[in-house]
Each structure stands twice: as C-alpha cells, then as structure tokens.
C-alpha cells in the first residue's frame, strides 16, 4: 500500500510540474560570446532539467567507476593480507620446527605482503637469531623497538642479545627502556634487579625492590658502596629497620655509627640485634672495639644480656672466659651451650680446649679426648650458604657470586650434600691435619 501511495504521489508531482511548465509564458535568452540564444520559457526549463539529469547520471557513473577501482584494490589488498598472514604462520611453524632457512624465507615473504608490521619484524628477528645472523636479528629488533605497539618486544629481544653477549651495561639500559614502554612488568623488575646486581648498581637494585624482598640485603649493599657517610648511615639504618634479624644489616649500621664516633649507639644496635638473632659475627664486630681480654669478657656479657640463655650466648661467653684465663667458667658455658641445643663441632672444641686448660691430670685429659672424639662426629658449624644454588660462601654477600641471586645467602648448617660438594672443591692442603679436630 505504501508503494502505491508513493507512486501516485510522484506521478501527481510530475503531472503538476509538466502543467506548470506548459503554462509558462515568454522567452529565455542567453548571450554567450556575442551570440544570443533564445527559446520559449517551457523549452528552456525542460533543457535545464535535462542538463541537470545528465550531470547527475555522469556523477553516478564516475562514482561507480571509482568504486569498482577501490573494490579491486581492496580485493588485491585482501589477497596480499591473506598471503602475508599465511607466510607469518608458515614462518612460525618453521621456527617451531627449528628450520632457520625456511623461517627466513617465509618471514621475508610476509614482509613483502604485509610490510614491516610488529608480527613480520618479530618473526624476522627470531628467524635470523635461529640462523645465527645476529646483525639481521638486531636490526629487526631495533625496528620493532621503534614501533609503538611492538616496542616492548623489540627491547626485550635486544635485551636478550645484550645478556647473551654479557654486555651488562647495555643490557641494563635496554631493560630501562623496556620498562618505559611497558611499565609494571614483574619480569622486567626481576631482570633489572639481576642486571643492577651484575653491574654493582646497588642503589638502582634497591629502588626497584623497595618495600619487598630482598630490600634489606640491597640496602645494606648500597650502604657499603655509598661514599657519602650520612647517606651510607641512612641506608644501613634502613636495612636494619627493614630486617632486624639480618646480622650483616646490623653490622653495616653499627659500622657507620662507629665511624662517626657514636660507639655507644653502635653497641646498642648490636645488643638489640644479638637479642633478636644471636649471631657470632655480630659478637665479633661488637668485641672489635677492644683487645683487652677482661674488657672483652665484660663487653660480651653486656652484649648477650638480651638473650643470655641462647646457645650462641653461652658459646661466646665460654670462649671469652677461656681467652681471659677462666677455664672452669668456659667449660661450664660450653656445657650450657650443649644443653641449649648447640651440639656443633665448635661447641665440643671449646669443651676440649677448656678441659685441657683446666689441668693435665688423667681426668682432664680424658675429658679433652672425649670432647675431641665427639667433635669429629658432631653436627658441622653453621656457615654462609646460598639457598638458591647451594654454593658455600666464605662470608655474607648481598648477592651470590655463583648464581647472582640477591638476598639468598643465609647462615645455616650445611646439609650433607652441600658438605660433600664443599669438600670436593676444597684444596687438599686446606684439610685439617689433626685427626682429632677433623
């Protein structure tokens, strides 16, 4: 019904227009270059309408021809895109199959069809890497790094190349650029920490890990490498506050206080740290303030007052008592250390030394030999060991020199497996000669 009404409406308008044109009176004159053209008004109106209709038809014809050209171009582009995507897929298959030459051919074909897109540059870079062409791979990764969408992939590829070449400075720079292109990535935080450790940039490693592990170890390392005394003291204090149980952090803070002439505050820090975590290295640093044996014994007793019943406290006071000539007192503290659970080689050696110092009669000689016998079979003394790779260390470090993992070196009793590995690595001339102390 609607179409019928539309038809009658158009017909009515056409008939009305024709009647209007037919009733027009007069002539229309047009002068062009001195020539006058004249026609009755109805014919002039019809001519104008016909001319307009012709212009409209020409416009539609041109648009149709242009549309056909665009469709042809789009059809061609669609075919190129399909072929390019197929080439990218074939390149990925060749990479998975570890066929470098095939991967390079398909990557080149993909670039011909698609141009330098993130996908084509990425497969080009990996194909070149698989083929061993580092220069081509670097060029592709560099081009990818300049692409806004693929910048992170480009920087990561360049970063891996720098790490493989052990160019740690360039690797650290590339990791920072990658962080800018894709901030907040946990992978990059770990990678930047690793590179900062490798280059000795402890301040940067600390900033990356501030507020999370291994914050304290990195702050202590930054303090040790800081040249400004006040800044070093603040960093050491930060490490100690962050982890009061970390003995090297307490020692780093106390060392800076001692260097500034604040020995009483340094001793207070060490005393509080020893109470929280009785550690022989804390005691050694605290006692370095004096060489007088009686004074060292007095200082030791004050140091352990926060944890007087710990095995480390008894062992320390026992050794200081022996050094000061109080053999019986040393022997008593050695026995108390055993009762506190410190049944280690060093405890039995203190028992042996104190028994020997107490006299040369048969009773003390027997006690001396028995203590040596027990020392040979006792639990080994604790030592610094990397929990990440299991390698023994000759002292604490903020990062393991073997696996370069930060904050994983701990003061622990070595396991049987680690002791065996350490014994195999130990030179023959470093082995103890006294079988009683082996």
pLDDT in tens, 216-258: 999 999 999 999 999 999 999 999 999 999 999 999 999 999 9
| Average pLDDT of the segment spanning 267-279 | 95
Helix 311-323 / helix 280-287 crossing angle, nearest 10 deg: 40
Q: Per residue in 77-124, pLDDT tens?
A: 567 788 888 888 888 898 888 998 998 888 888 888 888 888 888 889
pLDDT of residue 360: 85
Q: Which H or E run contains 35?
A: strand 35-40
Whether residue 41 contacts residue 29, with contact meaning beta carbons closer than 8 Å, is answered with no
Structure tokens that stand for 182 in this block = 């894709």
pLDDT of residue 421: 45
pLDDT band (50, 70, 90) for residue 289: confident
Query: How far apart (Å, rounded) are the C-alpha atoms in residues 188 and 270?
Result: 37
pLDDT of residue 353: 95
Pairing of the two strands 35-40 and 27-32: antiparallel
Query: Which 3 state secondary structure label does DSSP give 133?
Result: coil
Residue in the structure block whose two tokens are 């019809």: 46
Structure tokens that stand for 172 in this block = 């650290």
pLDDT of residue 180: 86
54-68, 164-178, 250-264: segment of lowest average pLDDT: 54-68
Structure tokens that stand for 340 in this block = 């506190």
Helix 345-358 / helix 362-377 crossing angle, nearest 10 deg: 170
pLDDT of residue 371: 92
Helix 229-242 / helix 247-259 crossing angle, nearest 10 deg: 150
- Residue 184 gets the label, from left (phi > 0), alpha (psi -120 to 50) or beta, of left
pLDDT band (50, 70, 90) for residue 276: very high
pLDDT band (50, 70, 90) for residue 312: very high
Q: Say whether pLDDT at 30 is over 60.
A: no
Q: Give Cβ neighbours of residue 350 (< 8 Å, ≥ 6 apart).
A: 315, 318, 319, 322, 330, 334, 337
For 37-78, the DSSP string reads: EEEEHHHHHHHHHHHHHHHHHHHHHHHHHHHHHHHHHHHHHH
Other CB atoms within a 10 A radius of the CB of residue 293 amount to: 15
pLDDT of residue 296: 95
Query: How far apart (Å, rounded) are the C-alpha atoms in residues 277 and 283?
Result: 11
Q: How many helices (DSSP H) and strands (DSSP E) are in the chain?
A: 20, 4
Structure tokens that stand for 316 in this block = 């320390």
Kindly tell me the sign of the dihedral angle through the C-alpha atoms of 399, 400, 405, 408: negative
Q: Per residue in 358-415, pLDDT tens?
A: 988 898 999 999 999 999 999 999 999 999 999 999 999 999 999 999 999 999 998 6
For 403-419, the DSSP string reads: T--BT-EEEEPPPHHHH
CA 117 to chain centre: 28
pLDDT of residue 47: 60
Whether residue 247 contacts residue 239, with contact meaning beta carbons closer than 8 Å, is answered with no
Show the CA angle centred on residue 274, arms to residues 270 and 275, nearest 5°.
120
Query: How far apart (Å, rounded) are the C-alpha atoms in residues 293 and 300?
Result: 10
| Average pLDDT of the segment spanning 338-346 | 94
66-75, 86-95, 147-156, 398-407: segment of lowest average pLDDT: 66-75
Whether residue 151 contacts residue 120, with contact meaning beta carbons closer than 8 Å, is answered with no
Q: Say whether pLDDT at 151 is over 70.
A: yes
pLDDT > 90: percent of the chain: 47
118 - beta bridge partners?
A: none
pLDDT of residue 16: 61
DSSP 381: P
Query: Which 3 state secondary structure label does DSSP give 327?
Result: helix
Query: How far apart (Å, rounded) are the C-alpha atoms in residues 353 and 351?
Result: 6
Domain boundaries, the chain: 382-438
Pairing of the two strands 383-386 and 27-32: unpaired
């Amino acid at each position: 019904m609607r179409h019928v009404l539309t038809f009658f409406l158009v017909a009515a308008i056409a008939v009305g227009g024709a009647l209007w044109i037919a009733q027009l009176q007069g002539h229309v004159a047009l002068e062009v270059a001195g020539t006058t053209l004249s026609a009755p008004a109805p014919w002039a109106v019809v001519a104008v309408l016909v001319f307009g209709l012709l212009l409209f038809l020409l416009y539609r014809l041109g648009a149709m021809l242009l549309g056909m050209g665009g469709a042809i171009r789009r059809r061609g582009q669609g075919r190129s895109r399909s072929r390019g995507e197929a080439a990218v897929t074939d390149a990925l298959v060749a990479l998975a199959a570890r066929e470098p030459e095939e991967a390079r051919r398909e990557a080149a074909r993909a670039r011909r069809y698609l141009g330098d897109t993130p996908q084509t540059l990425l497969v080009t870079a990996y194909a070149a890497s698989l083929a061993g062409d580092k220069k081509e791979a670097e060029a592709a990764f560099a081009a990818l790094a300049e692409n806004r969408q693929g910048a992170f992939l480009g920087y990561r590829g360049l970063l891996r190349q720098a790490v493989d070449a052990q160019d740690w400075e360039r690797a650290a720079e590339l990791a920072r650029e990658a962080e800018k292109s894709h901030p907040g990535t946990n992978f990059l935080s770990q990678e930047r920490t690793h590179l900062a450790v490798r280059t000795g940039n402890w301040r940067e490693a600390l900033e990356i890990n501030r507020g999370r592990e291994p914050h304290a170890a990195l702050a202590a390392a930054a303090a040790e490498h800081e040249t400004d005394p006040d800044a070093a003291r603040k960093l050491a204090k930060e490490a100690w506050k962050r982890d009061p149980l970390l003995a090297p952090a307490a020692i780093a803070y106390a060392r800076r206080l001692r260097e500034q002439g604040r020995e009483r505050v340094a001793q207070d820090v060490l005393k509080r740290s020893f109470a929280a975590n009785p550690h022989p290295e804390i005691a050694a640093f605290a006692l370095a303030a004096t060489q007088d044996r009686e004074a060292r014994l007095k200082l030791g007793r004050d140091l352990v007052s926060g944890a007087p019943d710990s095995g480390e406290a008894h062992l320390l006071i026992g050794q200081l008592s022996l050094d000061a000539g109080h053999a019986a007192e040393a022997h008593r503290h050695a026995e108390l250390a055993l009762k506190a659970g410190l049944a280690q080689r060093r405890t039995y050696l203190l028992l042996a030394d104190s028994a020997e110092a107490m006299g040369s009669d048969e009773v003390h000689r027997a006690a001396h030999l028995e203590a040596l016998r027990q020392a040979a079979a006792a639990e080994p003394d604790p030592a610094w060991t990397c929990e990440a790779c299991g390698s023994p260390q000759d002292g604490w470090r903020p990062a393991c020199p073997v696996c370069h993992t930060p904050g994983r070196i701990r003061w622990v009793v070595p396991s049987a497996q680690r002791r065996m590995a350490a014994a195999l690595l130990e030179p023959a001339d470093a082995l103890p000669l006294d079988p009683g102390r082996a």
